[in-house]
Structure 1
Amino acid sequence: MSPEAESLPNSVSIFDGKTLSGWRPVPRTFGAAYPGGPSIMDALDLIGMDKLEIDIAGPIVWEPEKNAAVWTVEDGAIVGRQNFPGSGYGGWLVSEKTYGDFELVLEAKPDWPADTGILLRRRADDWAGFQVLLDHREYGGIGGFYGNGLASFSALPFSIRSVVDGDGAVIGIEADDPATSLDPVTDEKISRLSYAAKAEDFLDVWRWNDWNEIRIRCVGASPVLTTWVNGLKIAELDTATIDSPHYSPEGVLEWLGPRGHIALEVHDNDPIMGEARWGRGAACRWRNITITELGSEGALA
């Protein structure tokens, strides 16, 4: 645990290390692109692909409600995998309880590639929420933010790519190069943040193929979100000031409310990235999950 996490009193464990009590698995279903907007499936033209094109490109999950990720407890950690390996079907593990203002601390150990994250203020019956990114893959962001069902806004300070040895095996990560990246971090994505760490500083603290501590602070009705990795501040975002097409702070607050569930993610695969998004047989592991509920001004409740 980082010094910041250790100093917090009144932390409560929300994972007992043995069972999934207090959590429920749900399929990775999709809702509206943004509050009051069209469904994701109806909005496919926004990415220039119709259903026929995607079917040809495949695979994509057209009936996710019939499939879900596999969640187990192994060696004191929650483990999430696609069901079945290589199927492309992801899912969520959602907390039974809801939370308003809080600090969440957990340790994560993702395989490469594994596109995952932590969803905040998630609705009980919808995919919408603020996602803290843990995209441990090519062009992935770690510690930044994404708007699930919230106009797909993207706010992150940097992205990463793999380092390979002479045999082509991935042996670590380095900063992605915006000039060659398929999904570069643009000035627009960075400018949405009120604080943005440098990739070099992140790489100094990230532990390859090991456990990494993620700390998240969420405060306010339209929350200010802050992330740390292994004690290093990564990003801060005031969601009331997001400037992104179709994003409305008032509409988001009305849709999500001031409280919501926490969810862990196993991403589905898609025609664009395929198994580069979630490798065949890959897993993400989570342990030592604690939460400290805060008052409206960020003080201990």
Structure 2
Amino acid sequence: MRVSKLILLLTMILMSQLANGQTGKIPDGFRPIFNGKNLKGWHISRSTHQGSTPNFFVENGAIVGKEKPYGQGGLLLTDKNYKSFELYLEVKLDSFCNSGIFLRSNEGGAAYQIELVLPGNTGDLLGERLNPSKGAKATDREKVWRASGITDGWNAFRIRMAGDIPHLTLWINGVQMWDVEEPKNDFIGEATEGMIGLQCHWTAVYSAAAGSGMPLTSWRPDAAIKFRNLAIKELP
């Protein structure tokens, strides 16, 4: 009886996951910005405060990000700037690693950010080197999240960013998490375009003081963040 109940539970979870949007396929109308083979069209920021030696590489059709050396991170950026767009990508996130999706980023990593951290606030709207006037929390994420071990662990993110004063919307696995209209443009100089960025956050190595708020335990050794099926639809 216990085995039967377990099978039923797993079946219900899988059916729920399928109902909440498919992964593994770029939606119609989106143009790939990652070729699945190499990092052509992308570059590592040489000026980000998070480090300049992250280990970003391509494996099995996905961009993989790890710290290199342990404790040191960085930022992978598109070569191209974007203004108004919808971004689609699929994310597989190990526990105890810290990443983010950067929107309209400059070379130094100032951007609106969708946080990617487990355990933590994955899906929340934050600022990186800027203070957003209005943030957001993905309070319904757990209802649709595909955890590794139960499913394949890939989760679809769709992000819309439009307007000189940003209007941002996030869907995870086809379900809207939040919709935010910023009261003002929070970028220095009111920049209205920038790069898409994938973060590999630094963690402190040398002292407890340096690690306040970002201890080594926030990224376990050899943990990885993976991205695939990255695609964009530019908006007028």
The interval holding the TM-score normalised by the smaller chain is 0.7 to 0.9
Aligned residues: 206
Q: CA deviation at 1:11?
A: 1.1
> Are the aligned partners of 1:26 and 1:92 in contact in 2 as well (CA < 8 Å)?
yes
> Are the aligned partners of 2:26 and 2:231 in contact in 1 as well (CA < 8 Å)?
no
> Are the aligned partners of 2:123 and 2:141 in contact in 1 as well (CA < 8 Å)?
no
> Are the aligned partners of 1:122 and 1:256 in contact in 2 as well (CA < 8 Å)?
no
2:218 maps to 1:277:
yes
1:12 maps to: 31
Q: Percent identity of the aligned residues?
A: 34
2:166 maps to 1:223:
yes
- TM-score, normalised with respect to structure 1: 0.63
1:265 maps to: 199
1:78 maps to: 63
Q: 1:121 aligns with which of 100, 104, 114?
A: 104
Q: Deviations over 1:3-23 (max 9, x none)?
A: 7x9896431000000000000
Q: Deviations over 1:170-215 (max 9, x none)?
A: xxxxxxxxxxxxxxxxxxxxxxxxxxx5x4x421210112100011
Q: 2:118 aligns with which of 112, 116, 136?
A: 136
2:124 maps to 1:202:
no
Q: Deviations over 1:86-108 (max 9, x none)?
A: x2101111000111111101000
Q: Which runs of 5+ in 1 are unaligned?
A: 31-60, 158-196, 242-248, 296-301
1:149 maps to: 129
The alignment partner of 1:142 has SS state of coil
Moved more, 225-234 or 272-281: 272-281
Q: CA deviation at 1:122?
A: 0.7
Q: Which amino acid aligns with 1:155?
A: G
Q: CA deviation at 1:127?
A: 1.9
RMSD after superposition: 2.5
- TM-score, normalised with respect to structure 2: 0.79
1:93 maps to: 76
The alignment partner of 2:221 has SS state of coil
CA distance in 2, matches of 1:262, 1:7: 17
> Are the aligned partners of 1:143 and 1:235 in contact in 2 as well (CA < 8 Å)?
no
1:102 maps to: 85
1:48 maps to: none
The alignment partner of 1:155 has SS state of coil
> Are the aligned partners of 1:106 and 1:213 in contact in 2 as well (CA < 8 Å)?
yes
CA distance in 1, matches of 2:26, 2:61: 23
> Are the aligned partners of 1:27 and 1:90 in contact in 2 as well (CA < 8 Å)?
no
Q: Deviations over 1:235-256 (max 9, x none)?
A: 22222x2xxxxxxx35x35535
Q: Which amino acid aligns with 2:39?
A: L
Q: Which amino acid aligns with 2:197?
A: A
Q: Which runs of 5+ in 2 are unaligned?
A: 1-19, 205-210
CA distance in 2, matches of 1:229, 1:68: 30
Q: 1:234 aligns with which of 171, 177, 188?
A: 177
CA distance in 1, matches of 2:223, 2:88: 23
Are residues 152 and 267 of structure 1, via their aligned partners in 2, closer, same or farther at CA, if it must alter by over 3 Å?
Answer: farther
> Are the aligned partners of 2:75 and 2:109 in contact in 1 as well (CA < 8 Å)?
no
CA distance in 2, matches of 1:2, 1:264: 23
> Are the aligned partners of 2:97 and 2:224 in contact in 1 as well (CA < 8 Å)?
yes
Structure 1 residue ranges, 4+ long, deviating more than 4 angstroms after superposition: 5-9
